[in-house]
Structure 1
Amino acid sequence: MKNSIAERITDFIKNYPPFDNLSYTDLYKLAVETNVLYLDKDETLFNQGKPHNNFFYLVNQGAIRLYRQEGDKTLEIEMCDEGDVFGLRPLIVNENYNLNAKAYEESIVYAIPISIFNEQFVNNSEISKYLITRFASNSTTRFSQEENERIFADYKRTRQTDYFSSKIGTLMTTAISCNHKHTIREAALIMSENKISSIFILKKNKPTGVITNKVLLHTVATGKFSIDENVKEIMGTPVITASADISIAEAQIIMLKKKVENVCITVDGSPDSKMLGMVTQQDIVASLSNNPAVLMKQITRARTISRLRDLRQQLNDLLKRYIDQHISFTHTLTVVAELNETINQKAVELSVKELDKTPPCKFSFFALGSQARKEQLVPTDQDNGIIFDDVPEEEIESTRAFFMELAGLITKNLHSIGFEYCPAEMMASNPKWCLSKTEWKDKFKDWIYNPTEKNILLTAIFFDFNFVYGSKKLVDELSASVYEHTKENNRFFMFLAQDALKSPSPLGFFRQFLVDQDGAYKDHFNIKQRAIMPLIDAARILTLQHNLKGVNNTAERYYKLRELEPQNADVYEACAYAFKALLKFKTKNGLASLGDDDGKFIKLESLSKSDKVKLRRCFKPIKSIQEIITVRFQANI
């Protein structure tokens, strides 16, 4: 007899990765064992630091907030929406939860038993792809060297290496070893001579242990063991081994589960057979041609603009795969923003070399708008400027002429890479936006103390600026000047607030979406103008009011505001979630669109009922934040 609840679960989960790679029969078996959880708003599902249970989760309705507590600081990780999977990593690598999971609103969640899921996972390469990618998305910080070595999970098949069918033996390198009778000193000398970070200990050509730099640091360097003692006193056992015939993906899973940096390859895959070589995480990273870490390295090594154009296209491909795989959007945003910023930095660097002239003074190229806020996913038009150091009055025009020539080259090269020219010419190649430090300070001062309609429009564009290349000190000085003149400037804030309130709720009577009434996008919903920009504008004015420096990203601004104003924490948290959800909608639409609108115009008939419900949920915080702006700045319009 069929189980109607299991059928409903199956019909739902079959539409989402990784379940879309399983047969209906297998999914039904999984669904029969799945528990349905009904969670009230703010109800906790699991806690950071607690042992994992035997289930991972998939959101059916509502939203689940994932966050990490670090002392008094709350680090937001992700808001899981319909179809999102979470809580899987601790089960695979057998570790405690490192996040908290709490219902953001009333939610229905499916609790799926890992034991049943693993039956499907073991021999399914598509499931392996999904898990690898999920593990990679565990990071939310900037691309440090350590992070680069972790973020290796892009599953694109390449000519160099097929990640899921190529054998690990193709990446195997010679493993440096010593005899089990050697002293720690002798082992350390071998490591030093070969410039390696680990050494295997052999007994009859079989691996019995391993010593790493970290082990030496915590044992010998601390004085706990003498350097003249036998290696067996500090070596790690057992050695993690594998056969040369397993796939690269399988080797990576082993490293994740065992929390090791390398795998020892032996004849039969066990520690009881002869050692053949080794494979490290770095070997795997180097074998892949299109993953974030390697892509970052390729960008920094690029020597031509055409090469940067190719890499920018690879970044688009990476973004699409991350979106398709339901990778954490917070992680996706961080990865793409860092790679995008590096492309811009490299483009300026190559332009300076191409000009082949020495700049007459220090300068800085800076980004504006979405790129400055690290929110540009699908490439849009350029928004940038140049600030150069003050020079004697008689030299200023010749200095400007030099930087105008450089700016023209930069904007041309950025256009070649894929960043369209700004129709309004908000670019460094426009002499209005290629100014000395004093000229920029005077410009901002004029906007602040003479808040005409035009000046307020310009502040909305130029007040989000971020250093890209050159002298960061110049940009920092400009930022300090802006905050000095806006501090407690109530008149300016009132005008800025009125501008921020010009876009009312995106819904009209009967909760219908407000669409464009004419033009090329008649009957389309402008998600950027009607939903995203009101949240951006509100975050900017509140950030300025609090004199909050160094935080440009809209979601991060709301998280900071939540800490500064606990009485409004719920509203700010809702705004951060809504902003990221709306940006994800826009990004998905931009990737699917064949036009040139970067995804901001949405055909409502293309949306499912579920998508429309999600959008309406995102609109609620807009009304709440605009009410705060209206009351605080007396900005009734």
Structure 2
Amino acid sequence: MTNTIAARIADFLSDYPPFSLLEKKQLYSIAAEVRVNYYEQGKAIFLKGEKVHEYFYIVHKGAVDLQKVNEKEEPETIDKCDEGDVFGLRPLFAKENYQINAITDEESIIYAIPLKEFKPLAISNSQVGNFLMESFASNTRNPYSTEHRGKLFTEDEEISFKQEALFDLQPIPMVKKMVTVSPETSIQEAATLMSEKRVGSVIVVEDDKPVGILTDLDFREFIGTGKLSIDCAVNKIMNSPVICYSKGITIAQAQLTMMKHDINHICITKDGTPNTKVKGIVSEHDLMVSQGNNPSVLMKAIKRARSTKKLKKIRSKILFLLQGYLKNNIPLTHISKIMFELNDATIKRTIKRCVDKMEGPPPVNFAWMSLGSQGRKEQLLHTDQDNALVFADVPEEKLEETRAYYLKLATKVTKRLNIIGYEFCPAEMMARNPKYCLSLSEWKDQFSRWVTTSGSEEILLCQIFFDFDISYGDVKLTNSISDHVFEILKGNRHFLNSLAAQALRNPSPLGFFRQFLVEQDGEKKDLFDIKKRGIMPLTDAGRLLILEYRVKNISNTAERFEKLAQLEPKNKELYLACAYSSKALIKFRTKQGLKNKDSGRFINLEDLGKEDKVKLKRCFKTIKEIQELIKLRFEVTYYI
């Protein structure tokens, strides 16, 4: 005979993670053991210091306050749980007593899930275990704590989850039977060896230590062109120093290294440096064999592209690669680096082609600056163009003529970027706008005015331009701008306070009783703006705090918070939380954008499952905490 109560409980649980991740038979077996508890408003389910129960809990109806108790023994609500939220997970992860209170906020029905029956399922199902670990970390106000991560406690020992290896993080096989020669070996001898062994490279060694590498490309460059004789020694044409890694380099590391250094081979040594014995070699061909859809292949295609149409086609392949990375749950840090390099290469190639099409060469050195998400190395999807241009100072009588050249160039570039898929900026914050195509001195004067004026418009412009990254041209020009900016910020507390007030203009996006704040009117009515209410508050906070320390050359939001964690150990936990949340929100937006074939900015919350809402909630708790820190440090209130 069917247990109708257990069936109803199982039906309820099936809508919420982690129970939705269980098989039907497993779910029903758990439901049959669930205890149904009724609590009046204000009743304690457990209190700080109380011995842990043999259950964890999920709200069926009603609401529960999770409270932290401060030094004065005063409770402070740190989270609210409503229908479908799990809490009281400490018995799964730690043997010590409860560290927080769980008090009903209203009349509630709570399901108690027995640990004895549930724990084996959590251990055997990594998805279930990972969800519970994240929920536990969230309830303890530390979503990236490593203290209990990956571990479920049994009576006598810890059991760790097995994590499936991600394909890009797997070691790439190295070739052990490489060909080596001495620096004095003639080019002809080396070429003969390569031909006999049917290899595309030889490693030049001294005392078995790599001092150079020679490839087919070098033969074409120096011998095929007649620059050198085949009787010359290989040390005349070898590439040196050699980029080395130790055994076990991952596909991801190899991809990034080859793209960064524009090389096709990596040498494997005992300790990963050129100072120890050579063990093998990894080539670009090995990468292509290991992974068919390879970023380095796309990078080569970008560099060789001879038309905007071709770059547009490559861009679609980049998005396909992005989908694959997200589907396989590749860490966002790796995804962002790969996507940045490919986006940056696309921009570089576009500018290079446009420079070649101009009537004459650039009159003076210049630099193309990418702003916004691309400047922060956070651009994964197609978003609006945000860019600017700086050119070297010229005599006054040559200024407008020089500007006219670069405005024409910028018009060509932005037009082609638009064709590739980068929409025009609605606010015309692009290099084709005379406001943002300036000489070096003009840019310095502009930043000085913005910083000293400190109106809302100037603060907004500063925020955008503080996140620039050079995409093409003379890095000395952009470095000079950076030096100037940090010089005028020195001791300027008034400006930082104004920046702090602006950083609080979008408070934590959870309204009363954890309801998400959505757009109230207009075309996006009732949709949630994840950029405005989630990503921007963290971006603004990270920028403000890193500027306070006057740290240069870190524009990525997560990396800014990771640096801040080093600079302020007492706030390390919060800063790492912000880094984690920044990456989580960008990844969430990207998934939504790919799913809906748009920018992913506006989300219909009704389309989200409970698990997605729980993940967003954790990030928004972090936003609230970092904004509270800013309020206290800069003595400002929320921006009105």
CA contact (8 A) 2:151 2:160 kept: no
Indicate conservation of the 8 Å contact 1:39/1:106, yes or no: yes
Question: Residue 521 of structure 1: which of 521, 524, 543 is its match?
Answer: 524
The corresponding residue for 1:127 is none
In structure 2, the partner of 1:627 is: 628
- Describe the superposition over 1:587-614 as per-residue Cα deviations: whole angstroms up to 9, x where unpaired: 10011113x4x10111101111111111
1:435 corresponds to: 438
- 2:369–2:468: 8 Å Cα contact kept in structure 1? yes
Match of 2:419 in 1: 416
Instruction: Map 1:191-210; keep pairs closer than 5 Å.
Output: 192-194=190-192, 196=194
After superposition, residues 249-268 of structure 1 pair within 5 angstroms as none
Shift of 1:12: 8.2
Pairwise CA distance, 1:197: 11
Preserved contact between residue 64 and residue 101 of structure 1 (Cα < 8 Å) = no
Pairs aligned (count): 459
Which of residues 304, 323, 329 is equivalent to 1:301?
A: 304
C-alpha distance in 2 between matches for 1:553 and 1:195 = 47
Cα deviation, 1:26-78, whole Å, max 9, x if unaligned, reads xxxxxxxxxx9943599xxxxxxxxxxx999652323399xxxxxxxxxxxxx
Deviation, 1:463, is: 1.3
Q: Is residue 190–residue 202 contact of structure 2 (8 Å, CA) maintained in 1?
A: no
**How many Å separate the matches in 1 of 2:540 and 2:95?**
28
Deviations 1:483-524 (A, max 9, x none): 101112011011111111111110111110000111222111
User: 2:585 matched to which residue of 1?
Assistant: 582
SS in 1 for 2:588: helix
* 8 Å CA contact retained: 1:37, 1:111: no
Counterparts of 2:195 and 2:625, CA distance in 1: 55
Aligned-partner SS, 1:502: coil
Residues 1:396 and 2:394 aligned together: no
Q: What letter matches 1:323 in structure 2?
A: L
Q: Which amino acid aligns with 2:285?
A: D
Q: CA 1:376–1:188 in 2, change beyond 3 Å: closer, same or farther?
A: same
> Which has the larger displacement, 286-295 or 211-220?
211-220
- Picking from 93, 116, 122, the partner of 1:39 is 93
Q: TM-score, normalised by structure 1?
A: 0.64
CA distance in 2, matches of 1:533, 1:41: 39
Q: In structure 2, what is the equivalent of residue 617 of structure 1?
A: 618
Counterpart of 1:460 in 2: which secondary structure?
helix
1:130-179 CA distance string (max 9 Å, x none): 85xx242369xxxxxxxxxx599xxxxxxxxxxxxxxxxxxxx9x9999x
Instruction: Report percent identity of matched pairs.
Output: 41
Answering whether residue 561 of structure 2 is matched by residue 490 of structure 1, we say no
Cα distance, 1:450–1:295 mapped onto 2, change above 3 Å: same
* Counterpart residue identity of residue 192, structure 1: A
Residue 327 of structure 1: which of 330, 338, 359 is its match?
330
| Aligned residue number for residue 479 of structure 1 | 482
Shift of 1:111: 4.4
The aligned residue for residue 136 of structure 1 is: 168
> Deviation of residue 282 (structure 1)?
3.5
Q: Does 1:455 align with 2:458?
A: yes
| SS of structure 2 residue aligned to 1:61 | helix
Secondary structure of the structure 1 residue equivalent to 2:350: helix
Q: 1:301: Cα distance to partner?
A: 2.0
**Structure 1 residues 303-382: aligned runs within 5 Å:** 303-382=306-385
Q: How many Å separate the matches in 2 of 1:474 and 1:307? A: 31
Work out whether 1:218 is the aligned partner of 2:239.
no
SS in structure 2 at match of 1:529: helix
Distance in 1, Cα, partners of 2:471 & 2:20: 41
Shift of 1:102: 4.7
Q: Give the secondary structure class of the aligned counterpart of 1:63.
A: helix
CA distance in 2, matches of 1:561, 1:570: 10
Give 5+ residue unaligned stretches, structure 1.
26-35, 43-53, 66-78, 82-99, 115-129, 140-149, 153-172, 201-210, 222-259, 263-278
Distance 2:187 2:135 in 1: 52
Shift of 1:219: 7.2
3-state SS of the aligned residue for 2:469? strand
- The answer to whether 1:542 aligns with 2:545 is yes
In structure 1, what is the Cα distance between the partners aligned to 2:548 and 2:193?
A: 53
Q: Residues 13-24 of structure 1 correspond to what in structure 2 (within 5 A)? A: none
Residue 567 (str. 1) matches residue 557 (str. 2):
no
Select the residue among 281, 285, 295 that pairs with 1:283: 285
SS state of the match for residue 357, structure 1?
coil
Inter-CA distance 113–496: structure 2 relative to 1 (3 Å threshold): closer
Q: Secondary structure at the match of 2:382?
A: coil
Instruction: Tell me the amino acid that sits aligned with residue 497 of structure 1.
Output: A
Contact 2:168/2:330 (<8 A) preserved: no
Residues 478, 613 of structure 1: CA spacing in aligned structure 2 closer, same or farther, 3 A cutoff? Answer: same
Kept after mapping to 2: 8 A contact 1:308/1:343: yes
| Counterparts of 2:594 and 2:508, CA distance in 1 | 26
Aligned residue for 2:131, secondary structure, equals strand
Q: Could you list the runs of 5+ residues in structure 2 that have no partner in the other structure?
A: 1-5, 27-89, 97-122, 137-141, 212-265, 269-280
Q: TM-score, normalised by structure 2?
A: 0.63
Question: Could you tell me how far apart the structure 1 residues matched to 2:520 and 2:95 are?
Answer: 38
Counterpart in the other structure of 1:505: 508
User: Given that residues 151 and 293 in structure 1 are in contact (C-alpha distance below 8 angstroms), is that contact kept between their aligned partners in structure 2?
Assistant: no
SS in 1 for 2:335: helix
Which residue is equivalent to 1:74? Answer: none
Q: Distance in 2 between matches of 1:517 and 1:328?
A: 35
Contact 1:198–1:213 at 8 Å: present in 2 too?
no
Choose the corresponding residue for 1:383, options 381, 386, 390: 386
| Residues 613 and 398 of structure 1: CA distance in aligned 2, closer, same or farther (over 3 Å) | same
Q: Deviations over 1:416-450 (max 9, x none)?
A: 11100000000000000000001110001000000
Q: What amino acid does structure 2 have at the position aligned with 1:612?
A: K
Alpha carbons of structure 1 residues 194 and 624: separation in structure 2 relative to 1, 3 Å: farther
Paired residues of 2:204 and 2:210 also in contact (CA < 8 A) = no
CA deviations over 1:316-339 (Å, ceiling 9, x no partner): 000011111111222111111111
3-state SS in 2 of match to 1:415: helix
1:620–1:107: structure 2 CA closer, same or farther, 3 Å change rule? farther
Specify the code of the residue in structure 2 equivalent to 1:357.
G
Taking a change above 3 Å as real, the CA distance of residues 607 and 188 of structure 1, as seen in their structure-2 partners, is: farther
Partner of 1:61: 132
Q: What's the counterpart of residue 531 of structure 1?
A: 534
- Is the 1:137–1:331 Cα contact (8 Å) retained in structure 2? no
Distance 1:613 1:220 in 2: 52
For residues 273-328 of structure 1, what are the alpha-carbon distances to aligned partners after superposition, in whole Å with 9 as ceiling and x for unaligned?
xxxxxx97543445676311211122122222221111111110000111111112
- Provide the rounded CA distance (Å) in 2 between the counterparts of 1:512 and 1:536: 23
Structure-1 separation of matches of 2:348 and 2:19: 42
Alpha-carbon distance in structure 2 between the residues aligned to 1:15 and 1:513: 23
| Distance in 2, Cα, partners of 1:185 & 1:546 | 48
CA RMSD in angstroms, aligned pairs only: 4.5
Matched letter for residue 531 of structure 1: G
- Assess if the C-alpha contact under 8 Å between 1:449 and 1:492 holds in 2: yes
